[in-house]
A and B are shown apart, each in its own frame.
Chain A
């Protein structure tokens, strides 16, 4: 067992340090991002959160927005297993692995965003007196950690078995994969409840918030997966059929439609009833009291989603990889705004006593966020760099009696 682990680590290390120039450049770029973020965070840790744009009126901002968006990515990545299984996309375990690794990386980023947002990160152990079940933040911490453990367990099992050259133990892993699907839905639902449970914040205090969260997650998550699958099948030996990609795109068209429909429902309710609760939506799209508002972000987000809907709905553009990828990028950034800044900020502006404080993320916040994205992408890159050769049987356990370890490794993997 120990010997397996040692060989696995040694083999992983060899795969991680070997790669093309593009790979090295990419990893170096991510390391630079992480460094920039670390510098920003050290400064924030010393001076306090005063270096952010947040204040008492708008006490949550860019960090929590990124957290919310990434919970959606983590959730959607795993739910894609269902269509992959139903429509026989081919290497189902490989698709499971990619989805779960993306989920793991997204959860790592989520935890990092929460950690940089709190005033006393060294007090994290105070969760020993967790306020469960009353606090939804307590729920969120619990479900996110459980989800992380679940995904790590599944991926470890699949990779360990593949490394040993054996098929996965279906009786062990299939129930866990099935469990990971409701778990994925639950993490995003709980994250939505974190907001919608607050009576004092009418912009969030809506039953439709959780369904909207899920609908938008099923737009952004698959958008990332589609691009990843295209990259991975070019750079590794992974076989993904065009039909599978087109099917995901078709399913995404439904998700985009539902997301736009939910948005329409909210717009109708807010504007037709025209209560004071409308102020938040007005701030989002048009600004208030001479403050510019978030129109610069909100409008591109809505229009981007609409364009993506057309691109994904029309078969010709859906099957054309160029237009498909444009749709994916548009969708990714639209949801990034929708579930980030356009969710958190208008919920808090105007504040509960009617004051409009115009929040803008500070240099520190952008710097730290860039670092966390760098960290997440690095985690994902390294995990994939090891996982794909293992899954494809290119990195396997070699018995000591068969000394041809190096020779057995095909040089093709170095292209990744």
Chain B
């Protein structure tokens, strides 16, 4: 199993094109594909159960007139086209921003096979690339690199024990003797403590179970980060550093569009992908197939198969957060 280097720069050619079509993603996800043409139909559904009480004060960006959650179809369309124009100008390339809503009958869930994970951290870097996170700034000033996945190294003889875990392992080869690895990211809780505490309702759980942040509404108080038991949320302590040549132009308004200084962000199960019938980037990149993803409500999905055939556990079950992120030992 000692096959993978944890240093991403050494293995760039092995990373598949995350933008390319991947036939395997159809398996287990059900038919969730949404095109831009269907977009207006779905936004109408969203708008129907969202209040239209819009606040009409301009935000920093000048074009956002109200909360994402309260926008009607036309406002959302306007927002998307203005975002696309803005990003095209900023990054000098065509950018597609979607607002694909949650499809009916879909509840996303994730499962991670601890016996397969080798701790190579390819998921971490694929996630950064896919989701337009802030990169390390070569100038050093305002260095604010952001990663949504933390891979913890643990001792085999102690089992899953956070008190003895470390994310700062850096050997020549992984996995290390006597160690195993536990990646942790947003657990997309059914009962999320983070959304409960937000004082301004800038973060919420979508109907398909994805917990999202409205970057234009977040005031940056970080109470959600304090409340999260999984260390899943990240703050933009400085202006995010995102070079134009590294931008992923496939964006979602509630997901990987570029963030700004002073707001919180988090894993969205790659909402720009998962809501359009594709696997999250971390699932796709995993060289050992440790990551499983799908629709909990689809009896034929891969995630249901894991729940049926493997014994799973969740992290910190005593907190009653009810994660939709399961861990299991597949071998």
Contact = CB atoms under 8 A, between A and B. Distances in A.
A119 B163 contact: no
A3 interface: no
A137 B235 CA distance: 18
Interface string A342-361: 00000010111111000000
A56 interface: yes
A59 interface: yes
A118 interface: yes
B238 A59 contact: no
B142 A59 contact: no
B231 A351 contact: yes
Contacts of A128: 55
Contact of B165 (A59, A122, A135, A354): A354
Contacts of A123: 59, 200, 217-220
Nearest to B229: A200
Given A137-B223, A353-B167, A355-B167, A49 B235 contact: yes
Interface string B284-306: 00000000000000000000000
Nearest to B167: A355
Given A134-B196, A200-B316, A48 B221 contact: no
A118 B198 CA distance: 13
Contacts of A134: 196-197
Interface string B149-174: 01010000000001111110000000
Nearest to B164: A354
B243 interface: no
Interface residues of B, number: 53
Contacts of B152: 353-354
Interface in B24-49: none
- Please tell me the size bucket of the interface on A: 35 or more
B239 interface: yes
A125 B58 CA distance: 11
Given A126-B219, A128-B55, A200-B316, A60 B226 contact: yes
B219 A355 contact: no
B199 A131 contact: yes
Interface string B247-287: 00000000000000111000000000000000000000000
Interface of A: 47-50, 52, 54-57, 59-60, 114, 117-131, 134-138, 141, 197-201, 276, 279, 348, 350-355
19 contacts: A47-B142, A48-B262, A52-B237, A56-B235, A114-B221, A118-B220, A119-B222, A119-B235, A119-B262, A120-B262, A124-B219, A129-B200, A137-B221, A198-B193, A199-B229, A201-B226, A279-B163, A352-B231, A354-B152
Given A49-B238, A119-B221, 11 more contacts: A48-B238, A49-B262, A50-B238, A52-B237, A56-B234, A56-B235, A59-B235, A119-B218, A129-B55, A353-B184, A355-B167
Q: Lowest 5 CB-CB distances: which A-B pairs, in order?
A: A119-B220, A119-B262, A200-B229, A50-B238, A50-B237
Interface of B: 55, 57, 59-60, 67, 142-144, 150, 152, 162-167, 184, 193, 196-202, 217-223, 225-231, 233-239, 261-263, 316, 319-321
